[in-house]
Structure 1
């Protein structure tokens, strides 16, 4: 699954650690999502969408 998490995080000026803290996950989890090695759970995807004020489908797109 492709995603825009890195791009959206950079627009906010947040590090991976800052985003992880806001989401309650590890920095490694954020890194794995950004690099496409991990697809987030539905609750985590909703948290990302709320945090970035974006619909889920604008953040995550199927390959």
Structure 2
């Protein structure tokens, strides 16, 4: 059985792809399929992590 990290790297190529999947999952799980609070909070963090110059997502490879 694969670990969570290994499974994630099998399905996603980048931190941004992984985060987008996570964000949509939160929307489906907690907002009843609507784009409410759980989605907008996760979306804002996603945008910060993929755009901020000091973000570890821009400096640590998703795949080793």
TM category (shorter chain) comes to under 0.3
- Give the structure with higher Rg (CA): 2
Relative contact order: is structure 1 or structure 2 higher (C-alpha 8 Å, sep ≥ 6)? 1
Structure with the higher fraction of residues in strand conformation? 1
TM-score under structure 2 normalisation? 0.28
